[in-house]
Chain A
Amino acid sequence: MGLQGKAALVGVADYKNVRKYTGKRKFYLEQWAELTQMALADAGLSKDDIDGICCSSIPESDLFAPATVAEYLGLKVNFAEMVDLGGASSVSMIWRAAAAIELGICEAVVCAAPGIPIPSNPDRGPRDPNRFYGSTSANWGSPQTEFDVPYGNVAQNVGYALIAQRYADAYGYDERALAKIAADQRTNAQGNPKAVFHGQPITIDDVLQSKMVADPLHVLEIVMPCAGGSACIVVSERLARKCKHRPVYVTGCGEHLTTRSVTYAEDMTVSPVGPAAASAFGMAGKKPTDIDVLQAYDCYTITVLLTMEDAGFCAKGEGLSFVNEHSLTFDGTFPVNTHGGQLGAGQAAGMAGGMSQPVEGVRQIMGRADGRQVKDCNTALITGTGGIMSEQSVIILEGA
């Protein structure tokens, strides 16, 4: 059971990440149209091939997002999905698309994650003070409204700092090793002209000397929000043979979540990556040593550390020495986030940051990662993380 590896990623598209966006503002619907057109051209397919969509929420319509997108793009689809898994949404879109294709209900699914600012609303009402709470809900009846928000445990920094502090107590803390994750990924970003930090390499000391935001997290261990956006197209084996590039098959997937607030996680230092990765490895018949490149969701350095441990690339509690023993650069002994990751390339708004990892995995396996190409790259493991190590998705990609 599980995916048979008969659906492939065949085209990708992305905007250049920009910290202070001054270009033309575009609605998410407009970005959906543009990114889809770009990804189709990349694959060598046409609009009429598309018969499925996977999206996340769009600001233009609180409900009925897939129908709104399909209508705007003029698509007739047999599969319409909206994924609400935070930063894990993009990876989850891709395996859902692959599953729908293997079921035979559709043949070509576009998955997109826009993240460029929309035009200013002339009728904008008073600004919502709760916008500063990030992913934390302050709605009436939400447990977070009552039991997180009043104590100042809001947004993402606090939760990830709590995880890091608990990890430090359980396994010890080597702040240089965590800083090395950010520095190595920044080195990778130097090969990616679309990264916000292209042209700005950093050292471990730069990270450790940057401002402490929520102890033990320094500002350079936290993603930089930016404008951006990306998309990919997943198709059947039949269509994949017609496309321009080496097809990248989705051969394994997994998903796991248990809590919304990390406060209630069974063990804060053990992420849901474990079960999700075990599912993906089992389905693909692969083991960690088969993976040529890891594209790990990286909202924080600690996220990457827990991902490497819990996915099984090293033992629990040995992640820090693993990082010290390996170079995580594209030409290193254990390449991670070869586009710079979100730490090095920026975290595009909306759910777009999490689409950057699968898009980079596809480019690596297609052999199109100019300036940062991993040699003989055939197999990639991609993760998506939502909330505070809450939602977790994993896919394994393999070149044909």
Chain B
Amino acid sequence: MKNESDNNALYQRPQPRPTPTSEPFWAGLAAQQVRLQQCDDCAGWVYYPRSHCPHCLSPNLTWQDISGEGTLYSYTVAQQPTAPQFAGEEPQLIGVVELKEGVRLNTVMVNVSPEDLEVGMRVKPVFFQLADTTLLYFEPS
């Protein structure tokens, strides 16, 4: 029995493990707010959270609250679980969203049927509670 429960724990949905740098991002999602870092020196937007701006390597980044609105840049409908940890969730509607600020992020599309997914469709955030963390999903807007 013990082995079986260990095994089940091993194949649970993986949760993000916030780092000291990324913690404000995840805390924002928990409070139903999307936040991005913006560079004080070049005004570039930064995703995922970093210690330095990937546009100019400045260490001066400031967290900004944003709307989280954007468009679906691409997607796939995975008919088989992409890993055993996602068994039971198929079809997985895995998306890449481009926010208005221009950055792209990985996500899951919800409240939409697979055949209605379309590259370029406008989307807005859904704050999805997974155990003790909040993930950033999207739905059509």
Contacts and interface: CB of A to CB of B under 8 A. Distances in A.
Contact of A214 (B73, B77, B119, B130): B77
B107 interface: yes
A145 B86 contact: no
Interface of A is mostly: helix
Interface string A166-210: 101100000000000000000000000000000000000000000
Interface stretch (B31-39, B57-65, B88-96): B88-96
A154 B81 CA distance: 10
A149 B14 contact: yes
Contacts of B78: 152, 157-158, 161, 213-215
A168 B15 CA distance: 32
A143 B48 contact: yes
Interface in B92-131: 92, 94, 96, 104-108, 114, 119-120, 130
7 contacts: A145-B17, A146-B17, A146-B18, A146-B22, A153-B106, A169-B120, A214-B80
Contacts of B22: 146
Interface of A: 126, 129, 132-133, 138, 140-141, 143, 145-155, 157-158, 161-163, 165-166, 168-169, 211-215, 217, 261, 263-264, 268
Contacts of B14: 138, 145, 149-150
A159 to B, nearest CB: 9
B89 A150 contact: no
**Residue among B75, B106, B108, B135 with the highest chain A CB neighbour number at 10 A:** B106
Contacts of B108: 151-152
B130 A150 contact: yes
Contacts of B84: 129, 132
A261 B48 CA distance: 11
Contacts of B18: 146
A148 B75 contact: no
Nearest to B54: A264
Nearest to A149: B14
* 3 A-B pairs closest in CB distance: A161-B76, A169-B119, A166-B74
B74 A147 contact: no
A145 B75 CA distance: 20
A155 B82 CA distance: 7
Q: Is the interface of B mostly helix, strand, loop or mixed?
A: mixed
B1 interface: no
A126 to B, nearest CB: 8
Nearest to B119: A169
B5 interface: no
A126 B2 CA distance: 14
A146 B18 CA distance: 7
B83 A264 contact: no
B79 interface: yes
A149 B130 CA distance: 13
A149 B92 CA distance: 13
B76 A158 contact: yes
B85 interface: yes
A219 to B, nearest CB: 10
Given A162-B74, A169-B74, 18 more contacts: A132-B85, A138-B14, A146-B18, A149-B14, A149-B16, A152-B92, A153-B94, A153-B106, A155-B82, A157-B82, A162-B76, A163-B74, A165-B76, A166-B73, A212-B79, A261-B106, A263-B104, A263-B106
B76 A264 contact: no
A140 B82 contact: no
A152 B135 CA distance: 12
A129 B7 CA distance: 9
A129 B85 contact: yes
B128 to A, nearest CB: 10
Given A129-B10, A146-B17, A152 B76 contact: no
A157 B94 CA distance: 11
B106 A141 contact: no
Nearest to B3: A126
Given A129-B10, A166-B73, A213 B79 contact: yes
A143 B19 CA distance: 10
Contacts of B114: 215
A261 B84 CA distance: 21
